[in-house]
Amino acid sequence: DLTLYRGEILGVVGGSGTGKSVLLRSIVGLKRPNDGTVEVLNQRLNELSESQRSQVERRFGVLFQRGALFSSLNLQENVALPLIEHAKLSRQEAEYLARIKLSLVGLPPHAARQFPESLSGGMVKRAALARALALDPDILFLDEPTAGLDPIGAAAFDQLLVTLRDAMGFSVFLVTHDLDTLYA
């Protein structure tokens, strides 16, 4: 059993190929577990209807290892998308909030109009973090959040994560092979 408390950061560490990402994907509903139950936010996910499960999953923010940003959308549009799709905000409202989220993760205002392929790995990670935070999640799930970053960039990302967690009050579940991330 794994228990994550409000405001806590819980890390699962292991080498490549040990199932860390499979565990995360099973928890967030992208992969059905073969056995056992997944209980998140006091809800047994495998016992919920699709509609009920969707309501619970809207309280998640997920940052995938490679960012998973849409290449055809600029950063502002990438971050606004969950606000339009799930919060049913107008495009104007969603893009305004997207700019705020991009600023929260330390990206300059001009970055909002840039496309993912024109950015450094660190900027892509920050933009993906902004998108994961778009709906003000209760739990932020991170899959290898510092993979591909140099040690300075990884340390800065780790510090940003702690600062945002303290300010916004979400819990963090992360899987990593980077022990430095666990100690940040």
Residue 6, Cβ density class (10 Å: 0-12 exposed, 13-18 middle, ≥19 buried): exposed
Residue type, 132: A
Q: How far is CA 107 from CA 91, 101, 113, 124, in A?
A: 21, 9, 11, 10
Task: Quote the pLDDT of residue 110.
Answer: 95
User: According to the model, what pLDDT value does residue 86 have?
Assistant: 87
Provide the CA 81 distance to its chain's centre, in angstroms. 14
* Tens-binned pLDDT, residue by residue, of the chain (184 aa): 778 888 888 888 877 777 788 888 888 877 877 777 777 787 888 788 888 888 887 888 999 877 689 999 999 999 999 999 888 999 999 999 999 999 999 999 999 999 999 998 889 999 999 999 999 999 999 998 888 888 898 889 899 999 999 999 999 999 887 666 555 5
- H/E element holding 22? helix 20-27
Q: How far is 75 from 132, CA to CA, in rounded Å?
A: 12
All residues at 6 or more sequence positions from 69 whose CB lies less than 8 Å from its CB, including other chains: 75, 78, 116, 124, 127, 128, 131
List the domains of the chain with CATH numbers: 9-183 (3.40.50.300)
